[in-house]
Amino acid sequence: MNRLLPALFAATLLVPAVAQAHDVWLEPSSTVLSGDEARITVDAGSGNDKFYYNHRPLALNDLVITSPSGKTLEPENQFTGALRSGFDVTLTEDGTYRIAVAGQGVFARWKEGDQNKRWYGKPEDLDKHVPKDAQDLMVRERVQRIETFVTKGNPTDLEPVSKGLALTGNTHPNDLYAGETAEFVLTLDGEPARNLQVEIVRDGARYRDAVEEIVVLTDDQGRFEVRWPQAGLYWLHADIQDKQTSTPAAQDRNVAYVATLEVLPE
């Protein structure tokens, strides 16, 4: 598993890329709600342990909150602190909300004389910041999706995601229970992500002698199964490197996916 990739994504949201491994996530206060006055708070950050805020806040520039009817909602009370960022969401519709920080960028590395240069930004800004005749130029495209799901009332279907890695399947992400087996499908650009390793870790690893990670492999249809050992928040992660770039100057691309899932008691 390429542990450097999510670290680079997290770092590039706020500062130039660094070579330290830190996980990233969105952590909702609740994932299943009911009633007319349904509200949640979502914390976002990065750290050495899942859901342990000890590195940097996650920038929310690419935050998109999608309601069950497909409307884009504005976050409420958004803030950025020293170690975490966050916001509130009011759930006015019944159904499932997708809350995601999803974006695309390019990372460039080159030399100017004896100096090593780096730049990260939007693909359309590449020519403004990187010389076309740069020495030893390396350009890498990055596509990331960091997300969670929240349901008010009965769960509803989620719209497919056509760019990067995304989660779908026979099991709804807000219908997870300890002792049961979930059946998911991981897609890459809307197609099955075949033979891809998926890492799943329950909250609280900092306080256990072992991480107790669950590692599964998708099949030829992108499918994988998870039997939840107990209730709690779970961090799900996958990444891949390929040549399917949409930026002409990029030699390859890194694609990363992180989802926060809540498993309820039996």
Exposure of 19 by Cβ count < 10 A (0-12 exposed, 13-18 middle, 19+ buried)? exposed
Cα(225)–Cα(176) distance, rounded to whole angstroms?
12
Cα distance from N-terminal residue to C-terminal residue, the chain: 31
pLDDT at 177: 98
| Confidence label for 255 from pLDDT (cuts 50, 70 and 90) | very high
Strands 223-227 and 232-242: unpaired
Question: 41-45, 102-106, 153-157, 220-224: which range is least confident on average?
Answer: 102-106
Res 142 pLDDT > 60: yes
Q: Are 22 and 55 a contacting pair, CB within 8 Å?
A: yes
Res 20 pLDDT > 50: no
Q: Are 144 and 165 a contacting pair, CB within 8 Å?
A: no
DSSP assignment string, 143-183? EEEEEEEEEESS--PPPP--SSEEEEESS-TT--BTT-EEE
Q: Return the DSSP state at 4.
A: H
Res 222 pLDDT > 80: yes
Question: 1-10, 118-127, 183-192: which range is least confident on average?
Answer: 1-10
Listed in order, strand segments (DSSP E) in 21-153 are: 23-28, 32-33, 38-47, 63-66, 72-73, 76-80, 85-91, 95-112, 115-121, 135-152
Report percent pLDDT > 70 for the chain.
92
Strands 85-91 and 214-217: unpaired
Beta bridge partners of 72: 66
| Confidence label for 21 from pLDDT (cuts 50, 70 and 90) | low
* pLDDT tens-digit series, residues 22-50: 899 999 999 999 988 899 999 999 998 89
CA angle 117/122/128 to nearest 5° reads: 55
Q: Are 165 and 187 a contacting pair, CB within 8 Å?
A: yes
> What's the token pair of residue 237?
């992660």
Alpha helices in the chain (DSSP H): 4-12, 126-129
pLDDT at 19: 31
Which amino acid belongs to residue 58? Answer: L
Res 6 pLDDT > 80: no
Neighbours of 231 (CB within 10 A): 16
Domain boundaries, the chain: 4-263
| Rg from Cα positions in the chain | 19
| Confidence label for 75 from pLDDT (cuts 50, 70 and 90) | very high
